[in-house]
A and B are shown apart, each in its own frame.
Chain A
Amino acid sequence: AQSVTQLGSHVSVSEGALVLLRCNYSSSVPPYLFWYVQYPNQGLQLLLKYTSAATLVKGINGFEAEFKKSETSFHLTKPSAHMSDAAEYFCAVSSYRLGGSQGNLIFGKGTKLSVKP
């Protein structure tokens, strides 16, 4: 079974500082991994995804993530935080269901990022 753990429910950084949001996954098969961002009272927007091509994945708004199989991690980073990055971030892994039925995504509990001026 697949699962996702996001370390830290809240992360606070200063504007211009490095952003690091942690995600570890568990999967018995090669995983597909995603990072989504959610602004208050809105839906989720895809930031980036790992689909077994390059291990360093670049996304929108200057974010990137590196897939590390040995560490079962897919941490999200951004070199310099902006005030507009304040939001909640969700890591997700594809979940496969037996018998050929439709799979879905398993989401972590989310990390709220605050950016201080």
Chain B
Amino acid sequence: DGGITQSPKYLFRKEGQNVTLSCEQNLNHDAMYWYRQDPGQGLRLIYYSQIVNDFQKGDIAEGYSVSREKKESFPLTVTSAQKNPTAFYLCASSTDSRTYEQYFGPGTRLTVT
């Protein structure tokens, strides 16, 4: 079955530690996205990537970093510089360069204490 996988589902870290969230897709989509979701805030774009070895900052990139070394993979690192890292993180992919319709993974809930 084609789809997007995110692991782990739940992640707990201590404040001051970097943490990397995994996102893998086997849909052969070129574009991939990372969103952050907080209650009542909707989805906010962190980073996106159109092709391998290229990515752009979204609206809230500060404190985050990404890489795109393979078409299937787009990991997100939440650094210690991110002031409020506790959130639900969603990865998405798209192959439609006209409408940007996106397919979503199941999400990772990160809790930092």
Spell out B's residues near A (CB within 8 Å): 4, 6, 9, 31, 33, 40-43, 45, 48-50, 56, 58, 88, 90, 92, 97-107, 109
Contact A105 B106 (CB under 8 A): no
Q: What is the interface residue range for chain A against chain B?
A: 20 to 34
With the chains together, A86 CA to B49 CA distance in Å? 33
User: When the two chains form their complex, are residues B106 and A42 in contact, meaning their CB atoms are under 8 A apart?
Assistant: yes
How far is A95 from B56 in the complex, measured between Cα atoms in Å? 15
Q: Which residues of A contact B33 (CB under 8 A)?
A: 104
A32 near B100 with CB under 8 A, answer: yes
With an 8 A cutoff between CB atoms, is A18 at the interface?
Answer: no
Given known contacts A41-B107, A43-B90, A44-B104, is B43 in contact with A107 (CB within 8 Å)?
yes
At the interface, yes or no: A74 with Cβ under 8 Å from chain B? no
Is the CB–CB distance between B99 and A49 below 8 Å? yes
Contact, CB under 8 Å: A9 / B100: no
Q: Which residues of A does B touch, CB under 8 Å?
A: 9, 32, 34, 36, 41-46, 49, 51, 90, 94-95, 101-105, 107-110
A51's closest neighbor in chain B, by CB?
B99
B17 to chain A minimum Cβ distance, whole angstroms, is 23
A-B contact pairs, 23 of them (CB 8 A): A9-B40, A36-B104, A41-B88, A41-B107, A42-B107, A43-B4, A43-B6, A43-B107, A44-B104, A45-B104, A46-B103, A51-B98, A95-B100, A101-B56, A102-B49, A102-B100, A104-B45, A104-B102, A105-B101, A107-B42, A107-B43, A108-B42, A109-B40
Q: Are B99 and A94 in contact (CB under 8 A)?
A: yes
Given A94-B99, A110-B42, A102-B105 contact (CB < 8 Å): no
